Structure 1
C-alpha cells in the first residue's frame, strides 16, 4: 500500500472539530498556568464549551492568551472516536458511557500521533526493508484505531509505541546523517550540540543545527531566527515562544502542527509541506 500525503495527512490525521463532540474540551485536564481558560479536572467540560460542542471564544483564543487551546492537536482522534468508535452517538446522549468515551479518546489520540510520525518516516525512509516494516506497522496501527471500544481500552499502547519508536529512531539517524554530510562543516562543530537538551532562552542563531538530534529538547523562548534546521529531529521538542523568524524547517523531521502553533515566526519562516503557517505570525 502507498501512503500519500493527501490520504494520510490531509484526510485522516487532520483535526475536524465539526465531526467531534468537543472531546479535547472535556476529557483532558486543564491548567490555567499552561494557557487554558481555567483549572479543569479531566472529564469535566470546559466553561467555554457550548451545547453544540463548539467553543464560545474560539475566534478570540489568542487575544485571551489561551495558548494551550490554540496549540492542542488531537491528530484527528476526536472525529475518529466520535464518528467511528461511537458511530455518531455523543457523550451527552449516553452519559453512562461518557468516561469510557473519554478514555477511548486518550488512547486514540496516541495511536493517531503514532500514525502521523510513521507516515513521515515512511516518506523519509530510503531503506526498502525498513520501509516495508514501517508500512506493515502503519497498517497494524490503522487497524487498532478501528477496534471496538472495549478492545481499544484493553490495548497495551506502551508496547506498541516501543515498536514505533524503534523505526522512528532508525529513520531519524538516516535523515540526520544525510543532513550533516550534505554541507561542509568543521567536524568539531558538527555535532557539538546534537544531544544537548536544555536550550531555554538560548541564542542559537550562530549554532549549526543541521541534522541535530533535538528529540525532547527544551527550546522554550530560544532564538532560532534564520537558523537552518534541515534534517533536525524535533520529535517531542518544546518550542513554546521559540523565535523561528526566517528559520528553515522545510526538511526538519517529526515536527507537528501543535509544536508550530506555540512558536513565533514570520513570512520568511519555511515549514514542512504538511504543516500550516499559523495565521497570527
Structure 2
C-alpha cells in the first residue's frame, strides 16, 4: 500500500494482496442475493486455500449476486498487509479471525470516504473547498493506519458526519454550474432520499440533480440524462441505465453500477468501468 492516497486507483480492491477478508469477516443471510447464510468471522465455503473464490466466474448463476456488487475500496489489502503486517488469519493467533472481522468493516468505511474525498478534490468546481478536502483526506488516511484496537474502537459515524459536511458543499458547488431543464441550474433538483423505486424516468432530464440516498431500485432510467448528478448513496439495484448518460456524474461507485443494468450505449464517468454482466445481458 502507498503511504498516501494519490488517486482513485489506490482505492481499488487487490485480491492478490488480501486474505479473502470480505469472504470471512462479513455476514450474509440467505436471500435473493445470497444462496445461504454465513455468520461474521466464518469463512465462506466457496473460499479456497489461496484466498480466492472458487466460483468467482459463476457467482450470479450460483445465487451469490450480492458478492458481485461488493467492493472493499482497497480496505482488504490495507488490513491484510498493513494493519496485521501480512499475517494470515489461517496461521495467525487463535483470535486473529475475530480481530480482523472487527477491523475490516471499519477500514472499509474509511476507504469509501477516501474515495469520495479523493474524487471531490479532483473536481475543478470544488476549488473553494480543495484545501479542506485535502485536510480531511489526510486525516481519514491517518485513521486507517491505526492499531487494530484503535480501529475497532473508532467512532466511524462521527467521522463520516464531519466528512459529509464537505461532500455536501462539494455537491452544491459542482451542481450549481450545471444547466438543467429549461435553463434552470441543477442545484434546484434536490431528490435526496427520494423514493423512486420502480419510477418511470425514461428520458428524464436529471442534469445536476442531487440523488443522494435516493431509492432508484428497478427504476426505468433508459436514456435518462444524469450528467453532473450527485449519486452518493443512491440505490441503483436493478435500475435500468440502458443508453443513459452519466457523463460527469460524481460520487458514483463501482458497486452501485454493478447492481444496475445497462448497455453499450450507457455513457459513464471515467471513475468507473462498464460491468461485465451488462454485455452478457445485451
1:188 and 1:70 map into 2 onto residues whose CA distance is: 36
Q: How does 1:123-142 map to 2 (within 5 A)?
A: 123-142=122-141
Q: TM-score, normalised by structure 2?
A: 0.91
1:128 and 1:56 map into 2 onto residues whose CA distance is: 46
2:228 matches 1:231: yes
Q: How does 1:1-281 map to 2 (within 5 A)?
A: 7-10=6-9, 12-94=10-92, 95-179=94-178, 182-183=179-180, 185=182, 191=188, 194-195=191-192, 197-281=194-278
1:109 and 1:103 map into 2 onto residues whose CA distance is: 11
C-alpha deviation, 1:208, in angstroms: 2.0
Question: 5+ residue gaps in structure 1?
Answer: none
Task: Show CA shifts across 1:199-240 (max 9, x none).
Answer: 111110143211111111111111111111012111111101
Decide whether aligned partners of structure 1 residues 49 and 127 sit closer, same or farther in structure 2, where only a CA change above 3 A counts: closer
Task: Show CA shifts across 1:36-73 (max 9, x none).
Answer: 23111111111211122111100111222421010001
1:188 and 1:103 map into 2 onto residues whose CA distance is: 44
C-alpha contact 1:242 1:263 (8 A) present in aligned 2: yes
1:254 and 1:184 map into 2 onto residues whose CA distance is: 22
Q: TM-score, normalised by structure 1?
A: 0.91
1:142 and 1:246 map into 2 onto residues whose CA distance is: 37
Task: Show CA shifts across 1:100-133 (max 9, x none).
Answer: 1111101100110000000111112535441100
Query: How many residues align structurally?
Result: 274
C-alpha contact 1:125 1:171 (8 A) present in aligned 2: no
1:247 and 1:40 map into 2 onto residues whose CA distance is: 36
1:69 and 1:132 map into 2 onto residues whose CA distance is: 36
1:22 and 1:277 map into 2 onto residues whose CA distance is: 24
C-alpha contact 1:104 1:153 (8 A) present in aligned 2: yes
Aligned Cα root-mean-square deviation (Å) = 2.1
